[in-house]
Structure 1
Amino acid sequence: MAADTSSIRDAWSSIPSQGEVGMGLERFTGQRMERILSTVAAIGSAALGVQALLAAMSGLARADGARLGMMVLVFGPLLWMIVACLIGKGIKQGAGTFVVAYAIALVLWPIVVDRTVREAADQPWIFFLVNIAVVAAMLAFRPFTQFLWALALPVIYGYVRLVQGGFEQSYWITTAFDVSFTIILGMVIIALAWMFRQVAAGVDEARARAVEGYASAAAASAAEEERVAMSALMHDSVLAALIAAERADSERARMLAVAMAREALTRLANTEASIAQEGSDEPVARSQIISELRRTLSEHGVDAIVEERGVANAELPGKVARAIVLAARQAIGNALAHAGGRGLHVIAESTDAHRLTVTVRDAGTGFDPDAIGEDRLGIRASIVARMAAVAGTSEIYSDAAGTTVVLGWEPA
C-alpha cells in the first residue's frame, strides 16, 4: 500500500502548476507532426532526387562546366535539405536554400542548357524537382508564402520550357499539362500539410487547456485539504487546549492544560511537515494505539477504560494509526463536551493482523448527525474527513440512548 501511495503522490506532483502549463507540453503534437512531415519530405525528396540525378548524369558526357555548375547548384542544397530533414536540425535553412537555388536554376536553364528543340515529351531532369521545391517551401516558409511558391515555381518552369522549345505549338500542349498538374499537386501538398499542422495545433491547445484544468483542480484540492487539515488541527489541539485551560481548577489540571497547549503549538509549528500531519508509513502495533487512547482518557481525567478484543498483535501503517488516534480523540472529546462523559466506553477490536476497529460510545442525549452545520468541523473534518484521507471508514450512530462512533480500517 505504501508503494501505491508513493506512486500516486509522484504522479500527482508531476502535474504542472498553472504557471508551468504549456512550457513543455504545448507543442508536443506539433513537434511530432513537424518531425513526421520532415521525414516524409526527406524520403520523397531522396527518391525523386535520385531519379533526377540519374537523368542529369545520362547527358554528362556532353556536359560542360556550366551544366556541371547547374547540377551542383541544384543537388548540393537538395542533399543538405535531405540530411537536415533526417537529423531534424537546420530544416528551414536547408529547405529555404534549396527553394531559392532551384528557382535560380530554373531562370538560368535556357541560358545554360542547349536550346536545340527536342521532342516535346522529353522532360528535362529539372522537372522532376518542381514538387520537391514546393515541399521545401512547405518546410521553410509561412502558409501564404508556401502557396505563392507552389504557384510560381510551376509557372516559371512552364515559361522556361516554352523558351527552350522556341514556343512551338507542340510544346504548349505538354507544358500546359505539366504546369497544371504540378500546380494542383503542389497545392494539395501545401493544403494537406497546413491541415495536419492545424490539427496538431488543436490537439496541443486542447491538451494545454486540459492540463491547466487539472493543475487548477490540483491547486484547489491542495488548498482545500490544507484548509481542512488546519481547521482540524485548530479544533483538535488549540481549541481543546483552550477548553482544558478554562476548566483547569487544580494543579494537575493546569499541568495537563499546559502540556496540551505545548503540543498544540508544536503541531502548529510543524504543519508543513508530513510526519507531523500524517505520521510515517512504518507499521504501528495495536498496543501502541491503545496506549495513546488510554493516555487521552487520562489527560482528560476520565475514569473510562479501553477494552481490547480480537487479535492482539495487529499492526497498521503509521499514517492510518495516527488518523485513528486523532479521530478517536475527537470522538472522546465530543463525548466529554456534549455528554459529560456519561457511559464513555472505548473498544479496540481486530479481526486479523491488519484490521482495526475503534468504537467510542457514550450514554448522552444524542444528536442528529444530518443536522450538523457546515462550519462545525469536530465531526466533518476531525473524524469523517480524517478517516477518509487514509481510506478508512467512520460511522456515527446517535439517538436518545447515546452516541456511537465506529472508526475502521482494513487494507485495500
Structure 2
Amino acid sequence: MHGPSAEERLARYMARFASAGAFAYLALLAPQILSQFGRLQPWYTPLFVCAIFGPALGLSFASFRWSMRRIRTLVTSMAVAYLIGQVLWLPAFDGPLLELTESAWIAVFPGLISVTTAIAWSNRAIFTYLVLVASFGQVVNYYSRVDHGNVPLFSDIVFGVMFCGLFTVTVTLVVRTGRLLDTTRVAAEYQAATAAASAARSVERERFDALIHDDVMSTLLSAARAGNSPALTAQSSTALARLDRLRSGIASTERVGPESFLAYLRSALSEVDDHVVIDAGTAAVSVDTTVPMDAVRALSASAAEALRNSVRHAGDRAEREVHVRVATDSVRIDVRDDGCGFDPGSVAPHRLGLAVSIRGRMRQVPGGSAEVTSEPGSGTTVTLTYRDPGDTT
C-alpha cells in the first residue's frame, strides 16, 4: 500500500511552515493590533484576528490529522477571511489616521496568506489572489495614513506584489515539484509493471515450451521404438492436450491442484536461488482443492521477487527459507531471511521491487495480499497470502 504522495507530503510540510509563520506574525503584530484597536469599530479586531489567525494556527494540527480536502477547506476559509478583513478595514476605520511609519495590521502579511493558498489552489487562483490582496493592502495603508510621502500608490502596489510573489513562487514550485515526482513515480511503476508482466510471460512461455517439447519428442521416440500401444495412445493424448493449452493460453480462471502449484512455485524460486530451503505443506487439503492460475502466477512471481530481493540485499551470510502452506481455500507463503533487515517505511519511491513486483502484483489478484515485516538487524519476512474470494466460510 502506498503512503501519501510526494505532493501531499510537501503540502503538509508547507502547512506547518505557514502555521509557524502565522504564530510569529501574531506575536510580532500583537502590540500593533492592540494599539489600533481603538481606531476601529469594536467588532472588527476580535472578529478578524480569530477568523484569520485561528485557521492559520490550526494548520499545524490539521497537517498531521486531517485529510488534504479538509486542509484545503481550512486554507480557503482563512484566505477568504483575510480578503474580507481588508475590504472592511476602511469602513471600520474610525481614526485617527496612522503615521507615515505605521501600517494597518491587516495589510502587513498578504505574503503569508498567499503562501498558504499555494498548498491548496491552482496556480492561476494563487497568483490572482496574491495580486488582489497585495494591492488592496497597499490601498488600505494609503488611505489610513496621514501622509503617504512622495511615493505614489501604484509604486507601492508593484513593490508589494513583487515582494510577496517571491515567497509564493517558491512555495508553488516546491508543491509543483512534488506533483512532478508523483507523475514520474506513476509512470515508472507502470513501466516496471509492464516489464514485469512481459518477463513473467516470457519465463512462463519458455517453461511450458520446454515441457511440451519434451512430451512431443518423447511421444515420437516411443512411436518409433515400440510402435502403437495403449501407453503410446495415452501419451499422445496428453501431448496433444498440452499443445491445445499452449495454443489457447492458460486462462486466469483455470485451476490447478496443490502439487502442480508447488511445482510451478519451486520452478520460479529455483531460477533465483536453487539452494533455497522450501518447506511445503499440503496435508490439510482435500483431493478437490485447486488454485486459480492467476493466483499461481502472482504468488510464484511475487515469491521469486521477494527471494531475489533477499539475495541482493540481505547480505552474504544470510540464510533463506520459504515456507508454503496450502489449505482448502487459501495459500500462504513466507519468504524469510536472517539478514541485515531494513525499515520498510524508509524505502524510496523509486525502489519498485516491493511496490510493483510484490505488493502491486498481489493486489491485482482478487483475494491476494502481501505484507513485509523487517527491522534493521533482524532479518526480513515477506508474507504472501491468497484466499479464494469465492469461499464463503
TM-score by length of 2: 0.55
1:108 pairs, out of 79, 83, 88, with: 88
**Structure 2 gaps, min length 5:** 246-254, 279-393
Partner of 1:40: 17
Partner of 1:81: 56
Please tell me whether the aligned partners of residues 120 and 174 of structure 1 are also in contact (alpha carbons under 8 angstroms): no
Partner of 2:6: 29
Partner of 1:162: 142
Q: How many residues align?
A: 258
Looking at structure 2, the residues matched to 52 and 179 of structure 1 have their Cα atoms a distance apart, in angstroms, of 21
Please tell me whether the aligned partners of residues 134 and 149 of structure 1 are also in contact (alpha carbons under 8 angstroms): yes
Partner of 1:276: 263
Looking at structure 2, the residues matched to 165 and 139 of structure 1 have their Cα atoms a distance apart, in angstroms, of 34
2:167 pairs, out of 167, 177, 189, with: 189
Please tell me whether the aligned partners of residues 29 and 204 of structure 1 are also in contact (alpha carbons under 8 angstroms): yes
1:213 corresponds to which letter in structure 2?
Q
Looking at structure 1, the residues matched to 60 and 15 of structure 2 have their Cα atoms a distance apart, in angstroms, of 5
The farther-off stretch of 113-122 and 211-220 is: 113-122
1:276 corresponds to which letter in structure 2?
A
Partner of 2:34: 57
Cα gap change, 1:115 to 1:174, in 2 (>3 Å)? farther
Looking at structure 2, the residues matched to 228 and 58 of structure 1 have their Cα atoms a distance apart, in angstroms, of 83
Cα gap change, 1:318 to 1:142, in 2 (>3 Å)? closer
Say which SS state the counterpart of residue 119 (structure 2) adopts: helix
Partner of 2:190: 212
Partner of 2:221: 243
Q: Which has the larger radius of gyration?
A: 1
Displacement after TM superposition at 1:182 (Å): 2.7
Partner of 1:97: 77
Partner of 1:143: 123
Displacement after TM superposition at 1:225 (Å): 0.8
Say which SS state the counterpart of residue 139 (structure 1) adopts: coil
Displacement after TM superposition at 1:279 (Å): 4.3
2:161 corresponds to which letter in structure 1?
I
Say which SS state the counterpart of residue 18 (structure 2) adopts: helix
Displacement after TM superposition at 1:34 (Å): 1.5
Cα gap change, 1:270 to 1:154, in 2 (>3 Å)? closer
Looking at structure 1, the residues matched to 13 and 276 of structure 2 have their Cα atoms a distance apart, in angstroms, of 50
Please tell me whether the aligned partners of residues 33 and 200 of structure 1 are also in contact (alpha carbons under 8 angstroms): yes
Cα gap change, 1:275 to 1:121, in 2 (>3 Å)? same
Cα gap change, 1:30 to 1:279, in 2 (>3 Å)? closer
- 1:242-288 deviations in whole A, cap 9, x for unaligned? 532453248xxx465467568869988859944233648999xxxxx
TM-score by length of 1: 0.53
Identical counterparts, % of pairs: 19
Cα gap change, 1:47 to 1:169, in 2 (>3 Å)? closer
Q: Work out whether 1:71 is the aligned partner of 2:46.
A: yes
CA root-mean-square deviation: 3.8
Please tell me whether the aligned partners of residues 271 and 277 of structure 1 are also in contact (alpha carbons under 8 angstroms): no
1:127 pairs, out of 100, 107, 120, with: 107
